[in-house]
Chain A
Amino acid sequence: MRIPILLTIGCLAALLLSCAKEGSVDYVRWTPVLDESSLGKDIPRPDSYHVRMTNIGTEQALEFDWSTSSPDAFRLVPGIYNVTVSAQGTTGGKACNYIGSVAGIEIFDEKSASPAIPISVSISSALVFKEIHYNASMVTGSASARYLKDTFFEVYNNSDQVVYADGICLGDPLSDKVYDFSDKLEHADQYVFIGTYVWQIPGSGKDYPINPGESFVIAASGIDHSKTATTVDLSTAEFETICDKYKEKGGQPDANALNMTLRCTIKETGLGNQLGKFTDGAWVIFYPSQPLRKDGEYLESNHANNYGQEVLKSDVLDAIDLLKTENPDDKRLPIALDAGWIKCKTTGGNQSVVRKVAETLPDGRIVLQDTNNTTDDFTVNDTPQIRRYGVKRPAWSTWNTAQ
C-alpha cells in the first residue's frame, strides 16, 4: 500500500506543477504609415527617414533607418510607443528638416491599427539656441535657499552667413493642447501664442552683427552670479532682460549688458526682471513679420483671463520644449516647431541644456546639430557655461568686468 500512495503523492505534485502555463512572448512586426500631404508640391520627398521609437513601458529607445521606396517592417517588443521620424534634405540651397511624431501608438500585435504619422518640414534657421540654463541654483553655503536670477539663453549663428540680432524676440509659448484661440483668430493653427512676456533685442537692423561661429547671450541679469550662488558668471552677457519698468522695482542693478525691450506684458508675473519658468516651459526666438499687439489688446484664449500674443510659426527661428516629466502629454510646442523635449532637475538643480555638436569644420568653426528635435539635439549638462566649445563673442561685445 505504501508504494502506491507515495507514487500517487509524487504524481499529484508533478501534475500540479505542470498545470500552469508559461506565457509565450514574441516580437511583433510593424510598419510606419507616413502622411506627407502637408509638404506641398514644391518640397521634395525624402528617400529615407530616421525612425526613433520609445517604448513607454520599458523606456527602450530604438532607432532605424527606413527606406520609403522599399519599406521594411520593424521587429518590436509589444507595447505603447512614441514614434518620431525625421529626415534631412535641401531645397533651393537651404537645408530642410522633415519631422513627424505621434505619441502613444499601441503596437500589441500585427493587426494593431496605427495612425498615420503627419510629416512637416521646416527650413533651418541660422540662429539656434545653443545653451539654456533655466532651473536656477542654490545660494552658496545654503542647503535650502534657491537662487533664481541666473537664467540665460545663448543663441548661436549656425550658418555660414552673417546675421543680425537686431529685433529678435524671445517669448514663452502657451501649450497648444490647453489653450485654444481658434475662435479669436483665423488660421490659428499657423500660430503659436506667447503667454507671459515678449522681450526684444533693440537695434536699427544692422547694429548687432553675429558672424558665423559667434553667439550672443541673453541673461536675466548680466552680473557675476557666482559671487552669490554656486552658478555661472554672466557679466559678459550681451543682453539682459532689464528695463525701466523693472529697474523701478529695484530687482537688479543695470549691468554692462545691453537692455532688451519689454515689448509685451501679456501676463505680469511679479518676478522683477527674472524670466521665470524654473521647472519647465517652452521658449521661442522669432523675428516678427507682423506688428506685435499693445498691452491690453492680447487675444483671450478658451480659458478666461489667459491671453496670448500670436506669432506666426514661420517667424520662429528656433524653439525648445523643456518639460518637468518624461510625459509627452506635457509638451507645449507643436511637432512642427520641436518634435522632442528635454528635462532638467527641479528648481535649484543648476543644470543647463546644451545643443550637441554635429561637426567641426576645417577652420575650427563648429556646426551644431539641428534636426528640430530637442530630444535628439540637446543633452543635459551639470555645469552651465556660456560660450562652451570655444565659441566667439561678437566683435561689438567688449565688456569684460562685472558692474
Chain B
Amino acid sequence: MRKITLSLFFLSLAVLVAAQGKNDRAWLDLNQTRTLWMASGNAAGLAVQAPQSFNLVEARYDREDGSWRPLQSGEHTANVQFDTQGARQIGAVRLWGHFCYNNVNEKESSFNTLLYNPYDERFLYTAADSVEGQWKKQSYEMEFKAAVPLGERLATGLHVHYADRIAAGQIDPRAESYHYAVTVKPGMVWKTGASRIGLNGLYAHTLERSTPSISNSQQIQKVYLMRGLGNFVGEQVGGGGLSTMYFRCNTWGGALQYGYSDGWQLLAEASYAYHNSRIRESPTQPKPHGTTRQEEGGLKVQALFGERLLHKITLDAKLIRTIGTEPTTRWNTATGEWEVRYELDQVVLKTAGLTLAYDGFVLDGDVYTWKLHGELGWEKKDDSYALPASSFTYGNLRAALGAERRWALRKGSLQGGLSVEANKNLSGTYEYQGHRAAYAPVRDLYPHNLAVLAADWIKAGIKGEYAFPVGKDVNLAFCAEAAWLGARPAGRSGAADTGNLNRLYTLAAVKLYF
C-alpha cells in the first residue's frame, strides 16, 4: 500500500509539472543540455537555472544478449521499463519529478545468491553460488527536485530520491531480496554577479534484506560467503544453513558548486560521499559478516558556449575507495549471541575514472539539426586483499564518436544517429595466493570477469526516432536502437581464456512528449 501511494505521488508530480513545449527528442535533449545545474547534486540550482517546462512519458523494452558480461550478469537480460519525468514552475517554486519502473528478467547469471545489484561494492560480504540461474527483478525509482528563491541572491532546494527494489532468484539456491533506499540532498545557492556558489548536503539510508532458500529440500545447496577477490567461507542454503542477510548502509556527504554565466556557462562541482555499511545475518541471533567504508569523490566541470553552434565540454573525474573489514566471530554460549573477537581490514577496492566529453549542436531555433558527440575516457581498477595477498587490477582507455541528424517533417520530426565506441585495454592482472585456488570463485569468477573487463572491444550502434503530433503540443514518438559489441580479451595474467566475446543491445520505445 505504501509503495502504491508513493508511486502515485511521484507519478502525479511528474505529470502535473508538465506544460507545453516543442516536444521531441532534439528539443528535450537541448533543453536539458542548456541547464547545467540540472545534472548537479544541488536542487537549489533549479532556482537560478531551470529547464523549460516539459513532460515525457516513455514505455520501453530493451534487452541484452551475448557472452561479453561479468558472470553475475545474465547472458540474456530483458527489461520492460516505464519512465516519466517533467519540470515546471508553480508560483516561485521550480519543480522536477521523475518516476521509473523496471521489470527485469535475467537469465544464466551466476555468483550472485542474494543481491539486487551484485556489483555494489558496499555490500561485498555477500553470498555467491556457481549455479547458472534466473532472476526476476522489479524496481520503483521515484525522485523530485524542488527549488525556492530566498530573495534576490539566495535560493534553497531539496532533492529526494526513493528506490524500492525487489528481486527473486528462480533456481536453487534462490533468494527473495527487498531493497529500500532513500536519499535526501538539501542545498543552497548564492548568486553574486555572474557567479553562483552552491553547497548541498547528502544523507542516504539503504537497506537490503535477502532471504535465501531452496525449493528442493532434498538438495542442500553450497554457497560461498565472499570475502573479496575470491576468498570465501563455505556455507549452505537449506538444512539450517544461511539465514536472512541484512545489508545496511548510511551515507553522508555533500558537494560544492561554482557556476558562472555571462554569455557562456560554467559549472564546476566537487562532491564527496562516505558510505558506512554493515552486513549481518539473522534477525534473532545477529551474526556480523563484515563492514565496509566507502569514500566516493568526484570533480565535474562543464562548459557551455556558442550561439548558432552550441558547444558543451565536460570533464568528469571520480575516485572511489572501499575498505572491507572482516570480523572474526565466535558464539558466546553465556550470552547467547555472536561476538566479534577481532577485526581486520582485509580488502581495499579502488576505482578511478576520468572522462572528457564534447557535444556540439548545430542549432535551428529551439532544436538542433545535427548533434555530434566525442568522448575520451580512462578508468583504472586496483583491488587488493591483504592476507593472503591477492590483487585484481585493470586499466582501460575508451573513445567514442557519434552523430545524430534531425529532419523536420511536414508533420513531426525524424531523428537518426550512428555511434561507434572503442576500448583499448592497458593493463590487467588477477593474482590469488590463498588456499582455495581450485574453487569456483577463484577458478571461474574472477578470471572470467578479468577477461571481460580487460578486453579490447568495439561497439557500433544505430538509433532512430520518429515523432509526430497527436494533439495540441503533444507528440507521440517511436524509437528503436541497436548496438553490437565485439570483444577480444587482452590475455592478461590470471584471465580466463574465453575466446572472442560479443553482446547485442536492442531497444524499442514509445514516448509521449507534452
Contact = CB atoms under 8 A, between A and B. Distances in A.
B301 interface: yes
Contact of B328 (A20, A23, A26, A79): A79
Contact of B342 (A27, A59, A79): A79
Interface stretch (A7-15, A115-123, A254-262, A390-398): A7-15
A57 interface: yes
Interface in B197-220: 197, 216, 218, 220
Contact of A346 (B220, B271, B329): B220
Nearest to B325: A23
B270 A5 contact: no
A76 to B, nearest CB: 9
Interface string B215-249: 01010100000010001011000010000000000
A17 B295 contact: yes
A303 interface: no
Contacts of B345: 22-25
Given A16-B272, A57-B328, A77-B387, A9 B299 contact: yes
Given A23-B325, A23-B345, A79-B328, A13 B388 contact: no
Contact of A20 (B216, B227, B293): B293
Contacts of A2: 195, 258, 260, 266
Contacts of A213: none
Contact of B387 (A5, A25, A345): A25
Contacts of B239: 346
A16 B320 CA distance: 12
B402 interface: no
Question: Most chain-B CB neighbours within 10 Å: which of A10, A57, A108, A329?
Answer: A57
A78 interface: yes
B323 A58 contact: no
A143 interface: yes
B386 interface: yes
B25 interface: no
Interface in A38-74: 56-61
A106 interface: yes
A157 to B, nearest CB: 36
B183 interface: no
Contacts of B327: 57
A42 B301 CA distance: 83
B270 A13 contact: yes
Contacts of A348: 218
B195 A6 contact: no
Interface string A96-107: 000000001010
Given A13-B272, A80-B341, A23 B299 contact: no
Contact of B319 (A17, A27, A58): A17
B330 A104 contact: yes
A106 B297 contact: no
Interface in B322-336: 323, 325-331, 333
B437 to A, nearest CB: 12
Contacts of B233: 57-59
A62 to B, nearest CB: 8
A60 B330 contact: no
Nearest to B320: A17
Given A9-B270, A348-B218, A60 B260 contact: no
A348 B435 CA distance: 31
Contact of A6 (B268, B295, B387): B268
A144 interface: yes
Nearest to B327: A57
Nearest to B231: A58
B487 interface: no
B93 interface: no
A17 B434 contact: no
Interface string B463-498: 000000000000000000000000000000000000
Contacts of A346: 220, 239
B374 interface: no
Contact of B195 (A1, A106, A138): A1
B321 interface: yes
B295 A13 contact: no
B344 interface: yes
Contacts of A26: 387
A20 B270 CA distance: 18
B267 to A, nearest CB: 11
Question: Most chain-A CB neighbours within 10 Å: which of B239, B271, B274, B329?
Answer: B239
Interface in A216-271: none
A80 B256 contact: no
B148 interface: no
Contacts of A13: 270-272, 297-299, 319
Contacts of A5: 197, 258, 268
Nearest to B326: A57
Contacts of B342: 78-80, 106, 108
B261 interface: no
A74 to B, nearest CB: 14
Interface in B363-400: 386-388
Given A9-B268, A16-B297, 5 more contacts: A12-B270, A23-B344, A56-B330, A104-B330, A345-B220
12 contacts: A2-B260, A6-B258, A13-B297, A13-B298, A19-B295, A23-B345, A25-B344, A26-B387, A27-B387, A58-B233, A78-B328, A138-B218
Q: Which are the 7 A-B pairs with shortest beta-carbon distances?
A: A23-B345, A25-B386, A9-B270, A57-B328, A13-B270, A17-B297, A16-B272
